[in-house]
Amino acid sequence: MTDRTWLFTSESVSEGHPDKVCDRVSDSVLDAFLATGEDVRVACETLATTNHVTIAGEVRGPEAVLKDVEGIAREAIKDIGYEQDGFHWETCEIVNRLHAQSSDIALGVDAGNKAEEGAGDQGIMFGYACNETEELMPAPIQFSHRILRLMAEARKSGKEPRFGPDSKSQVTLRYQNGKPVGIDTVVVSTQHDGAVDQDTVRDMVKPFVTQALPEGWTLPDDRLLVNPTGRFVIGGPDGDAGLTGRKIIVDTYGGAAPHGGGAFSGKDPTKVDRSAAYAARYLAKNVVAAGLADKCVIQLAYAIGVPEPVAVYVDTQGTGRVDEDRLGKILRERVRLTPRGIREHLGLLKPIYARTAAYGHFGRPVEKDGGFGWERTDIANDLAREFGAEAAD
């Protein structure tokens, strides 16, 4: 590789961002249906604006959950922290327009051949991993998430109550020979208490930026931009309307890898937009963890009602140490990439989705109840043994 340098930027948004409020509500509804243990189908979309939330979409599941949707939404908004005049968890209007799933879609999903369920829709899904961070994620998006997560933890714990729920971050890194070598610019815009001025907000933000960056990386003061437009007191859905699924690049790899276009939140795991994207990340991460490549992109393609993917594509972006065609074949043998196979392998039929609604679906620690199970690297050793000498060469 030539001695080339460049800048690359990714952004994140907090759980209080209007779009993320909607993702959280949609995923909280999904979790409530999954918690019943019944065979449910959920495709839930949410819109939020000043003192108003509309929830719509298609579901199949217990009527009791459907009747409790308003309460589920209020609890989600309360946990995020909205108690402001223009958007308050207790007083905002909530309209529930969820209805029964289309019988035509149900036919294609439920009546697949050979006892397999068909994919809930056609589409392409991508997974990605690289060795830029311990989490095998691109560094710019990982650092962007980390800044906002630390700020949110401080706000909720009472350590820094002057932060509001709505915030955004953007991290620009310097790359050399394909590796991140330093920080160039950080932008943070955060909702704040109306009593604090711009300089105070900057002082509030700066420690969290320092904490989020790798040890030894320094950022000049003039390259930290905090609330560049000035005052940011009115935030969340009161400041801007939100919609489910409008932050798909934030949810995935910050633009460092392709995205198939389908959003995740509010969709049960029969929808391959979600489950197959998780499977593709799982496979790509295990390839990199096995030392077979420094970077790996995996694309899966499906047809509605058809269980098996119509195509599996593996690209190690010139960093691979093994034959990509053989690697793709081995991966298909290791993991059954039907909707049912993915759900069973990754343990997706659990109420584990509300926690994914902010700070990324990938690069998160695997949790004891199975949350973020697609981040496991449990087949990496098998892959390394499979390719053995070839990988070493």
Q: What is the DSSP string of 20-54?
A: HHHHHHHHHHHHHHHTTTS--EEEEEEEEETTEEE
Confirm or deny that 198 is annotated as ligand binding. no
Mean pLDDT of 34-49: 97
Active site residue 369: no
Residue 17 tokens read as: 């961002």
Choosing from 68, 70, 79, 240, the catalytic residue is: 240
pTM of the model: 0.95
pLDDT value at position 103? 55
Distance CA(190)–CA(220), nearest Å, equals: 20
**Where along the chain do its domains lie?**
5-12+138-234, 123-131+272-392
Which amino acid is residue 338, in one-letter code? T
Whether residue 261 has pLDDT greater than 90: no
Residue 167 tokens read as: 């915030």
Distances (CA, A) of 63 to 24, 68, 197, 352, 354: 21, 9, 49, 21, 21
Active site residue 52: no
pLDDT value at position 208? 98
Active site residue 285: no
Mean pLDDT of 362-379: 97
Query: What percent of the chain has a predicted confidence (pLDDT) above 90?
Result: 89
Confirm or deny that 58 is annotated as ligand binding. yes
Confirm or deny that 60 is annotated as ligand binding. no
Mean pLDDT of 172-182: 95
Confirm or deny that 362 is annotated as ligand binding. no
Choosing from 56, 106, 110, 241, the catalytic residue is: 241
Confirm or deny that 117 is annotated as ligand binding. no
pLDDT value at position 2? 56
Active site residue 315: no
pLDDT in tens, 112-169: 445 688 887 889 999 999 999 999 999 999 999 999 999 999 999 999 999 999 999 9
DSSP 3-state helix, strand, coil percentages of the chain (rounded to 5)?
35, 25, 40
What three-state secondary structure class fits 327? Answer: helix
Provide CATH code, domain 123-131+272-392.
3.30.300.10
Choosing from 8, 15, 20, 268, the catalytic residue is: 20
pLDDT value at position 121? 82
Active site residue 17: yes
Whether residue 263 has pLDDT greater than 90: yes
Cβ count within 10 A of residue 194: 10
Active site residue 11: no
Element (H, E) at 192: strand 179-192
Choosing from 11, 117, 238, 273, the catalytic residue is: 273
Active site residue 240: yes
Active site residue 179: no
Cβ atoms of residues 148 and 169 within 8 Å: yes
Confirm or deny that 247 is annotated as ligand binding. yes
Active site residue 19: yes
Residue 86 tokens read as: 């223009």
pLDDT value at position 383? 96
What's the chain's average pLDDT?
A: 94
pLDDT value at position 116? 80
Active site residue 247: yes
Cβ atoms of residues 375 and 366 within 8 Å: yes
pLDDT value at position 104? 56
Query: What single DSSP character describes residue 59?
Result: E
Distance CA(101)–CA(123), nearest Å, equals: 19
Whether residue 183 has pLDDT greater than 70: yes
pLDDT in tens, 48-99: 999 999 999 999 999 999 999 999 999 999 999 999 999 999 999 999 999 9
Confirm or deny that 166 is annotated as ligand binding. yes
Provide CATH code, domain 5-12+138-234.
3.30.300.10
pLDDT value at position 388? 82
- The answer to whether the 5-12+138-234 and 123-131+272-392 domains have the same CATH topology is yes
Mean pLDDT of 350-355: 98
